[in-house]
Structure 1
Amino acid sequence: MKICLKCVEVFSTEGWVCPVCGFEPVQLNGIEAHAAEFAHGGGGFKSEYFAELARLEGANFWFRARNKLIVWALQAYKPDAQSFFEVGCGTGFVLSGIAVSHPDMSLSGSEIFLEGLSRAAARVPSAKFMQMDARRVPFVDEFDAIGAFDVLEHIEEDEAVLAQLHSALKPEGVLLLTVPQHPRLWSASDEYACHVRRYTCAEVESKFRKAGFKILRSTSFVTALLPAMMFSRYMQKKSKKAFDSASELKINPFINGAFYTLMIFELIGIRLGLNYPVGGSRLIVARKIDKNTP
């Protein structure tokens, strides 16, 4: 079901015109815009970074391995999902992977910046897209599964976002989420990416439970590469050179391949039930429960 962001009426008509107050989201480049004031820039990310992402993420070890992890987690924890909504879909790289592995699934994606949505729509033409602020999601009990991958750390009001995603899921729906972790890894890379925080395991799990979720799986990943990450962050802090935003995506092909192999071995361990205690990122899979259930 949909919810009018003006009068909070819940409705299930095909279009977006509210049957009570008549409010309708504007169209920007043919896309429904539910937060048009942020469509061309509103903090949380640099919209000009999408072009670089679209060019490099397809070959980068981290994006490729993370996609495999996400596709596996969706199949493992919500195999009967008929609908999936990605919040903060960027250039559509994750959705493209899910579209291949789940060709019959109804896919939707949202992004606050139009720049990302144009690239996502070209990459995954079978999906539906909208411009949206994750702090105000215009759905209630709508999706079997929702994903937010390296999104939450960009938003000050992360608990409000989790509450919105809880509301948008159907009963027993599943939320899949990845975030960067270990505050001690904070560096110029986080600042450039407009991160607000890096999470501790306890912090992010506590916020999930507060929002009304039961955690099904919580594990670190990018574990084997944690020493390399720590060294890289240390060198960033010591260096007097200006930060090169693309340096972490432009990796020697041999090293890129080696790192990808290490992450695939990590994924095998996760599939076998291992939960890694440390790593550059954390995957959490959680089920929606009724907040009023004792």
Structure 2
Amino acid sequence: MSDALPYTVVEGIRCFSPEVASSYADYPDDGFDLTDKSGESSFWVRSRNRLFKKIVQNNLVTSHKTKFLEIGCGTGGFIQKIVENENLEITGSEIYLKGLLYAKKNLPAVEFVQFDVTKGVIGEAFDLIVAFDVLEHIENDVAAISNINKMLHEGGRVIVTVPQHMFLWSQLDEIVKHKRRYSRRELVTKLQENGFDISYCTSFLFVLFPLMLISRMFDKGRSQSKSDDLALGKRVNFSKILNWIFDCFMRIDEALIGLGISLPFGGTLVVVAKKC
């Protein structure tokens, strides 16, 4: 791509947006530590990885290896679930260097780049781009969607997930520096207006939605006296038994979505779209 951003190499990683690599303006830096340490113990992380892996597998190119990019890969947790798929040529990108250093340590054979997707494109074109729980951290999400479209081959696909329903807004959204929670109409419209046709759209975290709603209502009224990293850990860490119970309920969501059902509401919105 002739309009690709220039890059510099920092700690062995190509940095296309080095000016923001250590700013942590849109995500708490302690979040990477927490994810790397305890991500696999979380029912939410396990469930989303299972579901997203299946959706990725359903959207691979059949004629050749799928050139794959994850926007906002964090510490590389999802890529670890798909790295053994020989039909994928994987690149992981993250705006913050701290997450990439964890990812590179965990997956030394994978190509990782530092990149602010609102600022332009990198010099490659992809068949499939995913952005899992990323757009809500970005002030100019329209620029991000537009640049994702530019980095796709004709007919390429994007898989996007975002937190859903502004009435669920709570202190947790503020701690992790969300800019918004989305309605289905808002995300679908933004994708359509930036060169995408919608292939599939569903809510996720459907069965557990009543518990999530109650939890968020209590969280709105909770006083914030602890540091953000301690408060974040308290809100996302559960006992082993609760993680096991919630994991079982999440498998119902996964099964329904696997049947092609579009769930009407839930804490997360999942959209698969094709470049026009």
TM-score range, shorter chain: over 0.9
Render the CA deviation track for 1:103-131: whole Å, top value 9, x for unaligned: 34110011111100011112222310111
* 2: CA distance, partners of 1:241 / 1:4: 43
**TM-score normalised over the length of structure 1:** 0.88
1:158 Cα offset (Å): 0.5
Instruction: Choose from 167, 179, 202 the match for 1:184.
Output: 167
The alpha-carbon distance between structure 1 residues 128 and 2, as it changes in their structure 2 partners (threshold 3 A), is farther
Contact kept in structure 1, 2:125 and 2:152, CA below 8 Å = yes
Contact kept in structure 2, 1:57 and 1:249, CA below 8 Å = no
1:272 Cα offset (Å): 0.7
Contact kept in structure 1, 2:4 and 2:123, CA below 8 Å = no
Contact kept in structure 2, 1:2 and 1:138, CA below 8 Å = no
**TM-score normalised over the length of structure 2:** 0.93
Instruction: Choose from 82, 106, 114 the match for 2:66.
Output: 82
* 2: CA distance, partners of 1:250 / 1:106: 33
Contact kept in structure 1, 2:121 and 2:150, CA below 8 Å = no
- Paired position in structure 2 for 1:239: 222
Sequence identity (%): 33
1:50 Cα offset (Å): 0.6
The alpha-carbon distance between structure 1 residues 146 and 138, as it changes in their structure 2 partners (threshold 3 A), is same
1:68 Cα offset (Å): 1.1
* Structure ranking higher in helix proportion: 2
1:136 Cα offset (Å): 2.5
The alpha-carbon distance between structure 1 residues 169 and 45, as it changes in their structure 2 partners (threshold 3 A), is same
1:3 Cα offset (Å): 3.4
- Paired position in structure 2 for 1:54: 36
Give the aligned length: 270
Give the secondary structure class of the aligned counterpart of 2:236: coil
The alpha-carbon distance between structure 1 residues 129 and 141, as it changes in their structure 2 partners (threshold 3 A), is closer
1:2 Cα offset (Å): 5.9
Render the CA deviation track for 1:200-250: whole Å, top value 9, x for unaligned: 000000001001111111000001111111111111122235362112321
Unaligned runs of 5+ residues in structure 1 are 6-23, 290-294
- Paired position in structure 1 for 2:54: 72
The alpha-carbon distance between structure 1 residues 241 and 46, as it changes in their structure 2 partners (threshold 3 A), is closer
The alpha-carbon distance between structure 1 residues 207 and 270, as it changes in their structure 2 partners (threshold 3 A), is same
Give the secondary structure class of the aligned counterpart of 1:129: strand
Give the secondary structure class of the aligned counterpart of 1:4: coil
Contact kept in structure 1, 2:16 and 2:122, CA below 8 Å = no
Contact kept in structure 1, 2:72 and 2:134, CA below 8 Å = yes
* 2: CA distance, partners of 1:241 / 1:180: 22
Give the secondary structure class of the aligned counterpart of 2:157: strand
2:262 maps to 1:275: yes
* 1: CA distance, partners of 2:2 / 2:168: 39
* 2: CA distance, partners of 1:2 / 1:97: 33
RMSD: 1.5
1:99 Cα offset (Å): 1.0
Larger relative contact order (Cα-Cα within 8 Å, sequence gap ≥ 6): 2
The letter of the residue matching 1:78 is L
Instruction: Choose from 259, 265, 268 the match for 2:246.
Output: 259
The alpha-carbon distance between structure 1 residues 241 and 191, as it changes in their structure 2 partners (threshold 3 A), is closer
- Higher mean alpha-carbon deviation, 111-120 vs 81-90, is at 81-90
Runs of 4+ displaced beyond 6 Å: none
Give the secondary structure class of the aligned counterpart of 1:110: strand
Contact kept in structure 2, 1:56 and 1:249, CA below 8 Å = no
1:141 Cα offset (Å): 6.5
- Paired position in structure 1 for 2:79: 95
Q: Output aligned runs, 1:1-294, within 5 Å.
A: 1=1, 3-5=3-5, 24-80=6-62, 82-100=66-84, 102-139=85-122, 142-240=125-223, 242=225, 244-289=231-276
Instruction: Answer with 1 or 2: which has the greater Rg.
Output: 1
Give the secondary structure class of the aligned counterpart of 1:286: strand
Give the secondary structure class of the aligned counterpart of 1:57: helix
- Higher mean alpha-carbon deviation, 72-81 vs 231-240, is at 72-81
Unaligned runs of 5+ residues in structure 2 are none
